[in-house]
């Protein structure tokens, strides 16, 4: 190889090395830039949601009147107030029988078809056999028409309900600070004093308040989210853009129009029978309380909730319980199944790390057991959940 040829080869090698280095540095800068951008965007995000997304206004639930807490329960509703007071968490007494969650039943038969009258020192029953009639036992009073309308009063638990056959009426739980007034079209108001939460629905518009947070859904794709404690506001114009304001900073991002709110729940018919005792308690946690979108790692800010639960479980000396994971129908069935299993296992591992020695069984159901429609954002939010069922007697 002559000298001229040697210099050409060396020059080419140097050029290729420089290009490779430049390309590598460019990729590193691009990756670094993306990471920095993501980190910078974090302050504009509502925890558990994507950038520019306004959280859905939750659909409130009214606990069924067919079940009461056992007086011998190892874990009571009062013991779990640190959990139930958190937005996105509900605690409900349930009865487990033959592996099924049921509300139980009780019957009084005084005629061939169940019609007639019955009374003793403790209770009085008048019924036509269809569940209509009157019942009183000194604590619970039921007046029920054949169409399920009527009145219900429980002086011990301070619950009253008046309901019409179309589902409209009033419900008040003075003990838990919960009230609902609803029309046949789903308009009305809901309050939960324990959670400092209220929902008002007029026509297609819904307003939700929770402490420093206010969410407005105008029913036409537009709406807003305000958290005064964080000086954070998100406004959705219903045309594909969300404007985020954090203090003096403003940012515009792409965002889907808001789904219309699904109205307040109508009241269920007056129960035909007195309540039965629960033997378990079910804690339902919205996935957003524990996890980021499509993730299964427990967020740091969610650890307090599980720490409180671990303390309750250890104090009650619970020997075994079940954790179930559920998702909405977004993504594939296989993806949702794996996600639900991973989320249930993440909760199990975290509780075990906090000294919970009980036998914990986990199961993922994916999207197979929805408790609400998957056609609305609010329904999907209810379906993305972790359920913890704990025997209490």
Report how far apart, in Å, the C-alpha atoms of 74 and of each of 3, 133, 315, 362 are: 91, 35, 9, 22
Angle between helices 333-353 and 303-316 (to 10 degrees): 60
Looking from the CA of 35 toward its CB, the CA atoms found within 13 Å total: 6
Mean pLDDT by 10 residues, the chain (393 residues): 48 47 48 54 88 90 66 78 80 69 36 44 56 75 82 88 91 92 94 93 95 96 96 97 96 95 81 64 90 92 92 93 95 96 96 95 96 86 92 84
Could you give the maximum distance between any two Cα atoms of the chain, in Å? Answer: 119
CA 238 to chain CA centroid, nearest Å = 25
DSSP letters spanning 112-139: TTSEEEEE-SS-EEEEESSS-EEEE-SS
CATH level 2 (architecture), domain 40-48+139-273: Alpha-Beta Complex (3.90)
Query: CA quadruple 207, 210, 214, 217: dihedral positive or negative?
Result: negative
Distance of alpha carbon 200 from alpha carbon 186, whole angstroms: 10
Distance of alpha carbon 137 from alpha carbon 119, whole angstroms: 9
The pLDDT value given to residue 136: 79
Other CB atoms within a 10 A radius of the CB of residue 16 amount to 10
Terminal-to-terminal C-alpha distance of the chain: 92
Is 189 in contact with 206 (CB distance < 8 Å)?
A: no
3-state secondary structure 246-311: ECCEEEEEECCCCCCCCCCCCCCCCCCCCCEECCEEEEEEEHHHHCCCCCCCCCHHHHHHHHHHHH
Distance of alpha carbon 198 from alpha carbon 202, whole angstroms: 13
The pLDDT value given to residue 126: 60
Is residue 303 packed enough to be buried (19+ CB in 10 Å), middle (13-18) or exposed (0-12)?
Answer: middle
Distance of alpha carbon 83 from alpha carbon 77, whole angstroms: 10
What is the H or E stretch that residue 31 is in?
Answer: helix 3-41
The pLDDT value given to residue 124: 60
* β 67-68/276-277 pair status: parallel
Distance of alpha carbon 30 from alpha carbon 197, whole angstroms: 44
Distance of alpha carbon 52 from alpha carbon 224, whole angstroms: 11
The pLDDT value given to residue 72: 75
Other CB atoms within a 10 A radius of the CB of residue 167 amount to 19
The pLDDT value given to residue 122: 57
The pLDDT value given to residue 84: 77
**CATH of 70-105+274-393 given 3.40.50.2300, 3.40.430.10, 3.40.50.720, 3.30.1330.60:** 3.30.1330.60
Which residues, at least 6 apart from 179, have a Cβ–Cβ distance to it below 8 Å?
A: 170, 171, 172, 173, 189, 190, 191
Which residues, at least 6 apart from 67, have a Cβ–Cβ distance to it below 8 Å?
A: 93, 94, 95, 103, 104, 275, 276, 277, 278
Is 343 in contact with 328 (CB distance < 8 Å)?
A: no
The pLDDT value given to residue 103: 33
pTM over 0.75: no
The pLDDT value given to residue 193: 92
**Every domain of the chain and the residues it spans:** 40-48+139-273, 70-105+274-393
């Amino acid at each position: 190889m002559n000298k001229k040829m040697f210099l050409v080869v060396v020059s080419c090698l140097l050029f290729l090395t420089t290009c490779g280095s430049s390309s590598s540095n460019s990729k590193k800068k691009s990756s670094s830039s993306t990471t920095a951008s993501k980190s910078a965007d974090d302050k504009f995000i509502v925890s558990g949601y994507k950038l520019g997304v306004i959280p859905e206004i939750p659909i409130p639930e009214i606990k069924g009147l067919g079940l009461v807490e056992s007086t011998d329960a190892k874990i009571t509703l009062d013991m779990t107030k640190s959990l139930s007071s958190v937005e996105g968490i509900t605690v409900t007494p349930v009865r487990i029988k033959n592996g099924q969650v049921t509300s139980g039943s009780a019957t009084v038969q005084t005629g061939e078809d169940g019609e007639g009258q019955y009374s003793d020192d403790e209770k009085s029953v008048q019924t036509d056999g269809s569940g209509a009639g009157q019942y009183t036992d000194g604590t619970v009073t039921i007046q029920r028409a054949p169409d399920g309308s009527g009145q219900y009063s429980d002086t011990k638990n301070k619950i009253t309900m008046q309901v019409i056959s179309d589902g409209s009426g009033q419900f008040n739980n003075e003990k838990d600070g919960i009230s609902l007034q609803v029309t046949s079209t789903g308009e009305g108001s809901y309050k939960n004093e324990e959670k400092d939460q209220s929902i008002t629905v007029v026509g297609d518009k819904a307003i939700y308040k929770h402490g420093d947070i206010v969410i407005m859904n105008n029913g036409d794709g537009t709406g807003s989210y305000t958290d005064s404690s964080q000086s954070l506001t998100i406004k959705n114009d219903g045309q594909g853009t969300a404007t985020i304001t954090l203090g003096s900073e403003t940012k515009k991002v792409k965002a889907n129009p808001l789904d219309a709110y699904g109205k307040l729940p109508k009241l269920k018919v007056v129960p035909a029978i007195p309540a039965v005792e629960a033997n378990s308690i079910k804690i339902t946690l919205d996935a957003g309380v524990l996890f980021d979108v499509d993730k299964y790692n427990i967020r740091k800010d969610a650890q307090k909730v599980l720490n409180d639960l671990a303390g309750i479980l250890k104090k009650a000396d619970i020997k075994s319980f079940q954790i179930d994971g559920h998702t909405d129908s977004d993504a594939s069935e296989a993806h949702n199944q794996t996600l639900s299993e991973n989320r249930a296992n993440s909760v199990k591992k975290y509780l075990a790390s906090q000294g919970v020695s009980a036998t914990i069984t986990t199961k993922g159901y994916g999207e197979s057991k929805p408790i609400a429609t998957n056609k609305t954002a609010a329904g999907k939010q209810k379906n993305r959940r972790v359920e913890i069922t704990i025997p209490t007697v």
